[in-house]
Amino acid sequence: MNQKSITLRFLAEPSDVNFGGKVHGGSVMKWIDQAGYAGAVGWCGNYCVTVYVGGIRFLEPVFIGNVVEVTAKVIYTGTTSMHFSIDVFSRNPKEEAMKHNTHCIIVFVAIDEMGKPVPVPVFDPETEKEKQLWQYAKRLMQLRKDIEAEMEVYIKMP
């Protein structure tokens, strides 16, 4: 398989609206998970589960009726995990210019029929951009460890 990226394209629908008349952040998060899942399966060829979504940054609103593009790019792999950079773009269908709406990182783990993690193909960055994103993923992994250590006290509180 080893598909490095995937882009989902569709229209933002009225059912995606929030109380402010724009697309609900929860809808955007659902799209992120769907694109990430399609990317993870395309990379490894196995069923995958989401284990982490971090740093979701909503940059611009998405409007109902916009053409939406959600792109997932593999940027790092562990033994059983895959890190994806997810970007959401949108545009008015009457215009050509795309707006960058959202960015985040999402991590999936490949699992077998018994729900046990299985190895994934190694991502070996080739282009300069892929190498930069690989380094970005490494830096974010360290930040995640620091955040998890900080949160541990509060997770265990009754």
pLDDT digits (tens, 9 = 90+) for 26-43: 999 999 999 999 999 999
- Check residue 41 and give its pLDDT: 98
Average pLDDT over residues 104-126: 97
pLDDT of residue 75: 98
Q: How far apart are CA 139 and CA 32, in angstroms?
A: 21
Which is it for the CA torsion 96, 101, 105, 111, positive or negative? Answer: negative
How many whole angstroms separate alpha carbon 40 and alpha carbon 22? Answer: 29
Tell me whether residue 55 is exposed, middle or buried, using C-beta atoms within 10 angstroms of its C-beta: 0 to 12, 13 to 18, 19 or more. Answer: exposed
5-123 fold: Thiol Ester Dehydrase; Chain A (3.10.129)
- Provide the strand spans (E) within the chain: 5-11, 47-58, 67-77, 81-91, 99-111
For residue 49, what pLDDT is reported?
Answer: 98
Residue positions counted in the chain: 158
Q: If you write DSSP's letter for every residue of 28-54 in order, what string do you get?
A: HHHHHHHHHHHHHHHHHSSEEEEEEEE
Q: What is the pLDDT of residues 56-87, one digit of tens each?
A: 999 999 999 999 999 999 999 999 999 999 99
Where are the chain's structural domains?
5-123
Provide, rounded to the nearest whole percent, the portion of the chain with pLDDT above 70. Answer: 99
Distance CA 51, CA 117 (A): 12
Helix (H, G, I), strand (E, B) or coil at 56: strand
Residue 9 burial by CB count (10 A; 0-12/13-18/19+): exposed, middle or buried?
A: exposed
Confidence at residue 155, expressed as pLDDT on a 0 to 100 scale: 83
Indicate the pairing of strand 5-11 with strand 81-91. unpaired
pLDDT band per the 50, 70, 90 thresholds, residue 8: very high
Say if residue 142's pLDDT is above 90. yes
